[in-house]
Structure 1
Amino acid sequence: MTDVHRQAFREEAYELLAELENSLLELEERPDDLDLISRVFRAMHTIKGSGSMFGFDEIARFTHEVETVFDMVRNGKLAVTKTLVNLTLAARDQIKAMLDADGGDFDAGQSSQIIAGLRELAPHDDAAAPAPVAEASAPVEASETVTYRIRFTPVREIFGFGVNPLNLLGELRELGPCNVIAHTTGFPTLEEMDPEQCYVYWDVILTTDQGINAIKDVFIFVEDDCTLTIDEIAVHDDLDHEEHHKKVGEILIERGDITMDEMNGLLSKQKRFGELAVESGIVPPTKVASALVEQQHVKEVRQEKQTQEAATSIRVPADRLDLLVNLVGELVTVQARLSSTAAERSDAELSAIAEEVERLTSELRDSALNIRMLPIGSTFSKFKRLVRDLSAELGKEIEMTTDGADTELDKTVIEKLNDPLVHLIRNSLDHGIELPEVRVAAGKPRHGTVHLSAVHSGDSVLLTINDDGAGLDAEAIRAKAIEKGIISPTAELSEKELFNLIFAPGFSTAKKLSSVSGRGVGMDVVKKAIEALRGAIDITSVKGKGAKITVRIPLTLAIIESLLVKIGTDYFMLPLSLVDECVELTRDDVSRSHGRNLANVREHLVPYIPLRQRFQITGEPPEIEQIVITEVDGMRVGFVVDHVIGEHQTVIKSLGRAYKNIEGISGATILGDGNVALILDIPQLVQSVESEAL
């Protein structure tokens, strides 16, 4: 088996394990949900079969044990319990460990313990020796694209059993392209009809790659209350060179609707076979219509298989996407240079070409960035397991809810955001949510809630972590900050400023250490990580009611909207998402502030940082300078520059190794005229000025 096939299995297995974990966590909340039970079973079945085919025999043997237990659950022989969910989650983690090892060493003893625990749960007569691993042909059933003919004839009393046949047909449609034909030839007259009886049966032509078991699963709970036949009529993976299409007569014979002699008798006439069959009274029109639908369905699927292969999704290595985005970034830079050159030369034809290139580049840029966008729900789902395990470790009862899981972010941002969010959620669980008895004494429900939400806001995404715990104690924070020498005892700080002190290095109000938190590390790391993503974090809280942490993150790290400014002959960029407004600063304004870097903006004092002095740029400033006012941690701060040039689409270039630790600079970009502009790290500049002032 080639490395490519083994890698393909590994990627599919990781996706199935993520889906399995989500299904198990939902199943713990809804243990009677038959759809979730089937999802768990199918995930295990697919991992087992594919693992056997691609040489992962240990994984296949181990997964078979879990699949066997969930087959009992499907058949009503075993109930879903917390113990079963715990063991299955442990099995999921063990399968992932085996995948990570990729044939190397893993803890086989852990596998034995999990298997022993599962066998103890199984009924005694079923807890026999493990059945042999499924042969390599098993996964083919779930990967080939096959067209099936399904005839579903429910018993007439099926409505009385609380079953709606249309719901079952709807589930079939979710498996793939599907045509449904209703047969109504058995309808009685209106006087004889019983409205509580079902007189209809259906033919379904379904093309799916889910395998015949997925079809049987749809009817698993009505199999005793219907007549069901499922016939395979075409395997489309083998149809590349096959041109034969079954005729209507052949289809009717296969179904048993007519005999060969009846067909031959009709063929001696000149009309179309279907018309002759109806006219002769051998079959009703609905059955001929059903055969024609099947014939057309197979033809269309064959054509789509041959002509639309390129339209299906494909796996692309992440480094190739990164290279594509980098090349698009280079193209944006060249396009800016072309537009600048066309403007300088006043050449109408060249300007027209530049405008067309600008339009195409813009569309290409948006498409390339969209390719890297992923729903943040993939990260949210990981936190459900984190909350479940940590709440058990802390002896708390905590439920996690989410909203906005389909909100999309650049994959690079999502990857770098994972650790900061883990820190924030762990702190909410440990410091925020109280123990059950404490919550009850405070008049709260025993169960605490952590709500994680995401929503788009302009060119950013707002992530919010809400908990209904004890909230932040401003006075306790103040006392701890004075004790550690972070602030002076006479310092007058607003509640918001006190809350922001928890991001100071080494700050912690935990009264005792735990394995989760309380060692004074974490929150400062969170703030630095989020600021490294050009994001911002904000905290609001009501003591005794809970806390709300809001994180603002840019949609992408590759290309951003910026404000281009100039100081002397040097160019700088400020992220536009942080810019509020621009105002003028005259010499009179400077003299009126009496040496203090404060500007009066509509009767509000705004502190500012003179960047010319900060960066030691020589030369005289203009008579009228500009203040670019930004908002950092809820505080308005200005940056004085010579000239504001305007908005600019910035392709971010990282600085070389020798310049990576320069304070206040996060990267650089190349302008259309070839000049280099440095991108300012606004939060870091503000922080460094504040630390110097202490």
Structure 2
Amino acid sequence: MDSYQEHYLIEATELISNLENALLVLEKTPDDKSQVEEVFRIMHTLKGGAGMFGFQKIEELTHYLENIYDLIRDNKLATTAQILDVTLSTVDHLTALLYDAECKEEINKENHARIKNEIDIIVKAIGITEATAERTHSQKEVVSNASALYHIVFKPNKEIFANGTNPLFIVEDLLALGDGRAFARTTRIPPFDKINPEKCFVYWDLLIFTGTPVEEIKDVFIFIEDQCEIAVNKVCAFNIFENNQIDLKLFENPKTFNSYLVEIASRAPKKKTEDHINKKSELSGNTGVVASTDDDLDMGNPKERIKNISSIRVASDKLDDLMNLVSELVTTQAGLSLYSEQNPDRRLEVFSENIEKLTRQLRDTAFSMTLIPINHLFQRFKRLVRDVSLQLNKEIDLVIKGGETELDKTIIEALADPLMHILRNSLDHGLEHEDERISAGKNKTGTVTISAYYSGANVHIQIKDDGKGIDQEKIRAKAIEKGLIGKHDKLNKAEILDLIFAPGLSTAAQITDVSGRGVGMDVVRKNVTNLRGEILVDSEVGKGSVVEIILPLTLSIIDGLLVQLEHTKYVIPLEVVEKCHELNAGELQENINQLVTLDGKQVPFLDLREAFDADKNTAPELTQIIVVHKNHKRVGICVDTIIGEYQAVLKPVGKYYRNQEFISGATILGDGTIALVLDTNKIIEQSIGQKIVAL
């Protein structure tokens, strides 16, 4: 049962998140009945699972809310701000109850009592009691014209017992929906001496006459969909169990089941067939009868069935283990390639090349499995914007673009707090109050846009507002006051705006609960840098600001250019490499202004021999210059030798290298030695800091 409850926790967390998003949409469109239905459906599903797995507190709260929203969808109650506020507070509390089911923690006790009292106030105001709620549900069933006979095929996987699931409980839940019969099928049971008591070999055909909507029938299976094969199909609109002319014994034999069901369905006027839970079944004729025979235990064409299983749920720690194994495989494959080069053998070379190709394919496939849409993160901010806008008394619209853009799940997890800081600053400092916006000729409602898009091997995330912008003079004055810059220092626009990331610098007129303490933006930059990313700011007074974060797709494996300086090897990320050149070392040594002409253009360069205090007397006659880029800036990096492309498995550096700005990580080479990964962004920044103009 523990694993079953764990499965419920995963499903319930997703349902609560969906419920919050549905409520935020409903708040914008309170008269949208389809949205009310969506909220009600999620609550009903959440309540059913809570009752099944012993989460009585969750069942209690969702039960009362369900009654309230049942009246709303019947046009007997309006969607008010009070109801939505209480419901959203309940959503927050439900998340806590998932991990404190009995409400033992003091803070959860207080919240539970408060929320229950708020719900009671609404319930008493509209006169809902248990009796009236039950009577309302009963009346619906009496007047419903949607009662029908459904054929349900329920085929548990043989390993379903291992997950703590008892299929008989599912059968009982289905039969409780109305008037019905379950027919056990035993054709999959092996000979007695080969029976494994830990496996399930039985499956069921069920016939149920019920007024329950199809969606609620589907809800019975919500926590075991990946553990069984299911099909639900409408047969006819009359109750065969009240008809003396129907011989129920013919249903007991699987060989006559389908043909008899087709005959019964043909007696009624043809109606539109209900949708299946999935496409795992084939229809017999056009009656809506699900094929279920001894010769077709896999429920239809196996190829079609497999094709329609589009996704499965996998624990994140398993994906982490997979990526670790793939990383080790990449390192081992590099060793094999090196051995093949050192020991020429045609067959060994072929094997090595094939393994390298397969390793790359496996790496790309495994990597793609760790990517998730960034919308999972963006959706969290809808509630934040809603709550902060009420707190600040501002009307704010949140626009989300590019939510389908995928990013490594590890990066997304680490990105939540930095984006939260930036968004809070935009809401508090960036957007004006209504009267200020109107006097400035703007719409009274402020807009914050969060967008994401791909650019090469990077993902760009932008937070843009149409507020008052950042006053550069205020930033400069505050930086001088804090001693961050001198009074006579000349800074361009980008350098001034970059000062907002300095520790303790804030131009807020007053400290609020939202922001303004001068902490946060320096932490934001540090967190983004730790993700091998960079953060840029642009702003125009009176028009708004844009904060852009540029991140790599993954943190684990990169394609790099392996280079050598004296006896030490380094890796430069291939995504930033523009072109490689070869020059006489003397030309660079005589250079005073740190500029070199390449392809007719002057490019600033950094000599790693000089930067790393290498012995100049051992320098080769020819120097390799690798031109790297950052946005529109270009810098040449001088090394002794270019070895070639290399798949680098990134590892964190030890304490001796943590303060080295040029180093972002390390990798193990095929011969077991270590190569340091160069942070080209830091190299370019330092080049600019040394007054080298990047062209």
Band the TM-score falls in, shorter-chain normalisation: 0.7 to 0.9
Structure 1: unaligned runs, 5 residues or longer = 150-204, 215-227, 234-240, 259-286
Does the C-alpha gap of structure 1 residues 295 and 316 become closer, same or farther in structure 2, counting only changes over 3 Å? closer
Equivalent position of 2:112 in the other structure: 111
- Residue 654 of structure 1 is aligned with which of 649, 652, 655? 652
For 1:352-367, what aligned pairs fall within 5 Å after superposition? Answer: 352-367=350-365
Q: Does 2:52 align with 1:53?
A: yes
Question: Is 650-659 or 297-306 further displaced after alignment?
Answer: 297-306
Give the drift of 1:243.
Answer: 4.3
Equivalent position of 1:455 in the other structure: 453
Question: Is 39-48 or 672-681 further displaced after alignment?
Answer: 672-681
Give the drift of 1:492.
Answer: 2.3
Equivalent position of 1:333 in the other structure: 331
The 8 Å contact of residues 538 and 633 in structure 1, kept in 2 or not, is answered as no
The separation in 2 between residues aligned to 1:530 and 1:309, in whole angstroms, is 41
Does the C-alpha gap of structure 1 residues 52 and 400 become closer, same or farther in structure 2, counting only changes over 3 Å? same
Equivalent position of 1:528 in the other structure: 526
If the length of structure 1 is used for normalisation, what is the TM-score? 0.76
If the length of structure 2 is used for normalisation, what is the TM-score? 0.76
Give the drift of 1:32.
Answer: 1.8
Q: What is the letter of the counterpart of residue 438 of structure 2?
A: V
The separation in 1 between residues aligned to 2:399 and 2:508, in whole angstroms, is 26
The separation in 2 between residues aligned to 1:364 and 1:144, in whole angstroms, is 43
The 8 Å contact of residues 57 and 101 in structure 2, kept in 1 or not, is answered as no
Q: Does 2:387 align with 1:386?
A: no
Give the drift of 1:488.
Answer: 2.2
- Residue 442 of structure 1 is aligned with which of 407, 415, 440? 440
Equivalent position of 1:627 in the other structure: 625
Equivalent position of 1:290 in the other structure: 286
Q: What is the letter of the counterpart of residue 672 of structure 1?
A: G
Equivalent position of 2:67 in the other structure: 68
For 1:246-285, what aligned pairs fall within 5 Å after superposition? Answer: 246-253=257-264, 256-257=267-268
Does the C-alpha gap of structure 1 residues 321 and 497 become closer, same or farther in structure 2, counting only changes over 3 Å? same
Give the drift of 1:123.
Answer: 7.2
The separation in 2 between residues aligned to 1:636 and 1:627, in whole angstroms, is 12
Q: Secondary structure at the match of 1:640?
A: strand
Give the drift of 1:137.
Answer: 12
The separation in 2 between residues aligned to 1:455 and 1:107, in whole angstroms, is 40
Does the C-alpha gap of structure 1 residues 124 and 536 become closer, same or farther in structure 2, counting only changes over 3 Å? closer
Q: Secondary structure at the match of 2:386?
A: helix
Does the C-alpha gap of structure 1 residues 211 and 683 become closer, same or farther in structure 2, counting only changes over 3 Å? closer
Does the C-alpha gap of structure 1 residues 63 and 480 become closer, same or farther in structure 2, counting only changes over 3 Å? same
Q: Secondary structure at the match of 2:313?
A: coil
Give the drift of 1:107.
Answer: 2.3
Equivalent position of 2:231 in the other structure: none
Give the drift of 1:12.
Answer: 0.8
Q: Does 2:609 align with 1:612?
A: yes
For 1:469-488, what aligned pairs fall within 5 Å after superposition? Answer: 469-488=467-486
Does the C-alpha gap of structure 1 residues 509 and 624 become closer, same or farther in structure 2, counting only changes over 3 Å? farther
Does the C-alpha gap of structure 1 residues 145 and 411 become closer, same or farther in structure 2, counting only changes over 3 Å? farther
Equivalent position of 1:667 in the other structure: 665
Structure 2: unaligned runs, 5 residues or longer = 138-165, 180-212, 223-235, 242-251, 270-282
Give the drift of 1:609.
Answer: 3.3
For 1:305-316, what aligned pairs fall within 5 Å after superposition? Answer: 311=309, 313-316=311-314
The 8 Å contact of residues 387 and 398 in structure 1, kept in 2 or not, is answered as yes
Q: Secondary structure at the match of 1:107?
A: helix
The 8 Å contact of residues 37 and 73 in structure 2, kept in 1 or not, is answered as yes
Give the drift of 1:558.
Answer: 1.0
Q: What is the letter of the counterpart of residue 608 of structure 2?
A: L
Q: Secondary structure at the match of 1:101?
A: coil
Q: Secondary structure at the match of 1:246?
A: helix
Does the C-alpha gap of structure 1 residues 353 and 602 become closer, same or farther in structure 2, counting only changes over 3 Å? closer
The separation in 1 between residues aligned to 2:173 and 2:553, in whole angstroms, is 36
The separation in 2 between residues aligned to 1:479 and 1:582, in whole angstroms, is 44
Equivalent position of 1:88 in the other structure: 87
The 8 Å contact of residues 262 and 284 in structure 2, kept in 1 or not, is answered as no
The 8 Å contact of residues 145 and 208 in structure 1, kept in 2 or not, is answered as no
Q: What is the letter of the counterpart of residue 668 of structure 1?
A: A
The 8 Å contact of residues 142 and 209 in structure 1, kept in 2 or not, is answered as no
Does the C-alpha gap of structure 1 residues 36 and 442 become closer, same or farther in structure 2, counting only changes over 3 Å? same
Equivalent position of 1:539 in the other structure: 537
Q: Secondary structure at the match of 2:257?
A: coil
The separation in 1 between residues aligned to 2:357 and 2:543, in whole angstroms, is 51
Q: What is the letter of the counterpart of residue 118 of structure 1?
A: I
Give the drift of 1:59.
Answer: 1.4
The separation in 1 between residues aligned to 2:77 and 2:169, in whole angstroms, is 26
Equivalent position of 1:175 in the other structure: none
Equivalent position of 1:507 in the other structure: 505
The separation in 2 between residues aligned to 1:116 and 1:505, in whole angstroms, is 44
Q: What is the letter of the counterpart of residue 505 of structure 1?
A: P
Q: Secondary structure at the match of 2:364?
A: helix
Does the C-alpha gap of structure 1 residues 527 and 298 become closer, same or farther in structure 2, counting only changes over 3 Å? farther
- Residue 550 of structure 2 is aligned with which of 546, 549, 552? 552
Give the drift of 1:210.
Answer: 2.0
The 8 Å contact of residues 565 and 643 in structure 1, kept in 2 or not, is answered as yes
Q: Secondary structure at the match of 1:506?
A: coil
Equivalent position of 2:140 in the other structure: none
Equivalent position of 1:412 in the other structure: 410
1:169-196 deviation line (CA, Å, top 9, x unaligned): xxxxxxxxxxxxxxxxxxxxxxxxxxxx
Give the drift of 1:576.
Answer: 2.7
1:224-247 deviation line (CA, Å, top 9, x unaligned): xxxx938899xxxxxxx9944524
Equivalent position of 2:464 in the other structure: 466
The separation in 1 between residues aligned to 2:391 and 2:671, in whole angstroms, is 59
The separation in 1 between residues aligned to 2:480 and 2:28, in whole angstroms, is 45
The separation in 1 between residues aligned to 2:6 and 2:353, in whole angstroms, is 44
Give the drift of 1:36.
Answer: 1.7
- Residue 218 of structure 2 is aligned with which of 207, 210, 227? 210
Q: How many corresponding residue pairs? A: 587
Give the drift of 1:602.
Answer: 6.3
Q: Secondary structure at the match of 2:264?
A: helix
The 8 Å contact of residues 462 and 547 in structure 2, kept in 1 or not, is answered as yes
Q: Secondary structure at the match of 2:513?
A: coil
Give the drift of 1:27.
Answer: 0.8
Give the drift of 1:109.
Answer: 3.2
1:497-546 deviation line (CA, Å, top 9, x unaligned): 22122122222222221222222211121112111111122222221111
Does the C-alpha gap of structure 1 residues 589 and 523 become closer, same or farther in structure 2, counting only changes over 3 Å? farther
The 8 Å contact of residues 536 and 633 in structure 1, kept in 2 or not, is answered as no
- Cα RMSD of the aligned pairs, angstroms, is 3.9
Q: Does 2:284 align with 1:303?
A: no
Give the drift of 1:99.
Answer: 1.3
The 8 Å contact of residues 261 and 289 in structure 2, kept in 1 or not, is answered as no
Question: Is 395-404 or 344-353 further displaced after alignment?
Answer: 344-353
The separation in 2 between residues aligned to 1:288 and 1:51, in whole angstroms, is 37
Does the C-alpha gap of structure 1 residues 604 and 373 become closer, same or farther in structure 2, counting only changes over 3 Å? same
1:654-681 deviation line (CA, Å, top 9, x unaligned): 2346655554322211223433211123
Equivalent position of 2:127 in the other structure: 126
